[in-house]
Amino acid sequence: MKKYSRFAVIIILLLSFNDVIAQQGKRLYTAPFGVQTYTFRRSIGTDPAKVLDTIKSMGFTEIEGGGGRMHPADFKKLCDQRGISIPSTGAGYDDLVNKLDSVIWRAKILGSKYVMCAWIPHQDNILTFENAKKATEDFNRAGKILKENGLILCYHAHGYEFQPYGDGTLLDYIFKNTNPEYVSFQMDIFWIQFGGGDPVALLKKYGNRWKLMHVKDMRKGIKKDLTGGTSTENDVALGTGELDIPAILKEAKKVGIKHYFIEDESSSISTQVPQSIAYLKSLRE
């Protein structure tokens, strides 16, 4: 049996390790792991410290959201103690229109850069042109003031915006009629797909106007519509549903999205969220 010096053995082991890494390829998902606190909506309002401990133990270092009724400064302190940052927080449409000072105050205390709005008010599950037109005006107005305060407004498309309009949809109308200086967007890949959109195509079409992403997967074969709503049990672990997660993440990286938040609205988050994290870690370019 041929003998090797200790140095030679180390070199051989390093080369072997590099071969394994080369075979595996580079990780596709390289951003920080983030989660939408709505995932933990059943418990974060009653015991935020315990929920944040769970979030930290899962490996998340970023969240989107807040501590419910807890004072934002107290919630921020809990997050800081656990090494968790809050790059994005939510705001209701009415608050953007009528309570913008409060929205700004809260976002700054939380240390957020982005303010996300996830719903445009409309009736009978039908977004009308009038709804969309008013929203673009309100978003432009609020987005300008937010920018003046060092914040970025992101509209979270929710799937009901794919009503036909002109040569495209009402979502196209909202993109074209909001000022890129004041209004950016968050892609929730579940709701884009549910409304009949193509996440990859829309990432290519609107590029860096997409600043944030909700990463979630959809049960295969479910009925889709333009309501922006379906059973929460149609949320499944990443990689087990119908969305092409690798293709979406590749394009998202190209357009410059930096913050991704896993969101799981199902009753199976204790098993599905860890499964989703493991799936993202397994992806290779």
Residue 150 lies in a domain: yes
DSSP state, 40?
G
- Asked if the model's pLDDT at residue 64 lies above 90, the reply is yes
Instruction: Using pLDDT thresholds of 50, 70 and 90, give the confidence band for residue 45.
Output: confident
Residue 12 lies in a domain: no
Instruction: Using pLDDT thresholds of 50, 70 and 90, give the confidence band for residue 133.
Output: very high
Residue 20 lies in a domain: no
Q: What is the pLDDT of residues 185-209, one digit of tens each?
A: 999 999 999 999 999 999 999 999 9
Burial class (CB in 10 A: 0-12, 13-18, 19+), 53: middle
What CATH number does the domain containing 232 carry?
Answer: 3.20.20.150
- Asked if the model's pLDDT at residue 19 lies above 70, the reply is no
Residue 95 lies in a domain: yes
Residue 1 lies in a domain: no
Q: Into how many domains does the chain fold?
A: 1
- Asked if the model's pLDDT at residue 15 lies above 90, the reply is no
Place of tokens 């009038």: 130
Residue 15 lies in a domain: no
Residue 52 to residue 84: CA distance in whole angstroms: 8
What local confidence, expressed as pLDDT, does residue 69 receive?
A: 85
Residue 277 lies in a domain: no
- Asked if the model's pLDDT at residue 228 lies above 70, the reply is yes
Residue 8 lies in a domain: no
Mean pLDDT of the chain: 92
Supply the range of the domain harboring residue 160: 36-265
- Asked if the model's pLDDT at residue 54 lies above 70, the reply is yes
Q: What is the pLDDT of residues 251-285, one digit of tens each?
A: 999 999 999 999 999 999 999 999 999 999 999 99
**What percent of the chain has pLDDT above 70?**
92
Give the mean pLDDT of 241-248.
98
- Asked if the model's pLDDT at residue 10 lies above 80, the reply is no
- Asked if the model's pLDDT at residue 216 lies above 70, the reply is yes
